[in-house]
Structure 1
């Protein structure tokens, strides 16, 4: 027994066969783990296989595995033929006699001798009966599923009819209150929005969980939502790998989650990812740094160019600078290299 690795399962197998100097037909191959490409360079793993030459022990073990779960009566019917007393092999038989008589092959079991043809017929009948039972079970399951789908569609149509508002009622409400908030509330019922965002939150959380799993990181995600905003809180022992340098990995995850959400649901929905309150800590650090930059510009009179930031971080900088007298800020460049410049107020 030997372990071999490779970029793919096939490469690992070829390496093992060359090392053992045997062909594939004479090797017992077991795949330990498949290769993982990882995500953004993280979690990449090589394929690993276990290879050994086929010997009597391997054949015996394979035979034992092959008969597991098969009824004893079937195993007895498929047992090897036992030579009856006085049996002579074809090579040692005398030349054909005129009698032309022949004996019927039998399969010896613990109870009685069963003709080979009869044993084969019994096995065929058993298989056909099993297939018929399986087909009946599948037909019954399909009919049950169709009934459930029909009931579900009827329930959904009824619920949709109950939630719909008649045009006359909408006109009456607009006449009573022409405010924008009332119009939005009438056009987009809270119950419908809540139902959509709950489904969206579940799917985007599953999507992010799969990405983190491919990064070979164990994590759990707690989700919450407020009307059109979805918040995903990631809990893991490897927060640094999920956050990345200056939050770059976390920003990439959020971008993927946002695109996933927009492709399947309304673009009015938004999602925010957080790891161990990193977003709050990053915001506090950014505000403190912006205040120091403003003081430096006031003292020196020179403009200060910050490093490229995301749209949300630039908004934090602009909002902080707006509260400091004597300085102003503006953005330059194109995403993802767009940055903020802090200067003296004109």
Structure 2
């Protein structure tokens, strides 16, 4: 275990890997502290990272769990698989000594085992990604699974925010299939972005991560302070004003593209107004709402 420093986390990591002669795949990297720029030369702090060689037998279970921030069960499977490969390599000369003598019988047996293994691998390779996700993740849909998914998604979003050089805390709540991430940060504007574009991108990344690693039936919602509440109020108010304009002019109004949740807010607001209707057109992420006079 060695500590390395740099102006940024990435600089400290690159310096440490270079000095230790390791690649990222063979290193366990833990960020101890992130660098601070300071003000007018005061309060500046270097970033510090801890780097360990993954092949080092002194890495403990909790350290292996932190590698790439994946669940402990997956790390255990990876280490077990690696151990089995090494054991197999050591046992081959002892289990098949006749191979060195040109034994046809052992060669035939080994070939049959290899062909069987190749067939199994081919069958697995032909399995689509959707089938893999359905088989591996969609069969489990209980409170324990959504709790684990919420924790991993929260860590994933937290990592992205740190890479944006922002300080933030995330409070996670969840129901049976829905998880909500409440982000608190002094730089709310940077996390939200113009018209919420950054927050929408974070939402999409979190949703993709969730579906790739857990059930496609789980959903995640991100909020910064009370932005989503204000955004909902703004959409409802705009929908009412647009409906009045459509009724007066008789011409349909085409709204800007928006997310599925935002379109639902507009549809619900328009459904309560007599004389107008709303429907969606286009394809995501450019799908938009049309408000028109009800026929």
Return the TM-score normalized by structure 2: 0.54
Could you tell me which residue of structure 1 aligns to residue 173 of structure 2?
224
Unaligned runs of 5+ in 2: 12-36, 38-55, 62-72, 77-138
Q: Indicate whether 1:244 and 2:244 are aligned.
A: no
Q: How much does 1:315 deviate? A: 1.3
Structure of higher CA gyration radius: 1
Q: Could you say if the C-alpha distance between residues 273 and 296 of structure 1 is closer, same or farther in structure 2, counting changes exceeding 3 Å?
A: same
Q: Do structure 1's residue 329 and structure 2's residue 245 form an aligned pair?
A: no
1:262 paired with 2:211, answer yes
Aligned length, in residue pairs: 176
The 2-side partners of 1:250 and 1:270 are apart by 16
The CA deviation string for residues 180-225 of structure 1, in whole angstroms up to 9 with x for no partner, is xxxxxxxx99xx7111111111110000000000000000000011
Distance 2:8 2:271 in 1: 55
Query: In the alignment, which residue of structure 2 is the partner of 1:301?
Result: 250
- Secondary structure at 1:216 match in 2: coil
Note the C-alpha offset of 1:32: 3.7
> 1:18-37 CA distances to partner (integer Å, 9 max, x unpaired)?
xxxxxxxxxxxx97424869
The within-5 A match list for 1:1-346 is 32-34=6-8, 193-346=142-295
* 1:52-80 CA distance string (max 9 Å, x none): xxxxxxxxxxxxxxxxxxxxxxxxxxxxx
1:166-190 deviation line (CA, Å, top 9, x unaligned):
xxxxxxxxxxxxxxxxxxxxxx99x
1:237 is paired with a residue whose SS is coil
SS at match of 1:202: helix
User: What RMSD over aligned residues (CA atoms) do the two structures have, in Å?
Assistant: 3.2
Structure 1 residues 36, 298: CA separation in 2 closer, same or farther (over 3 Å shift)?
Answer: farther
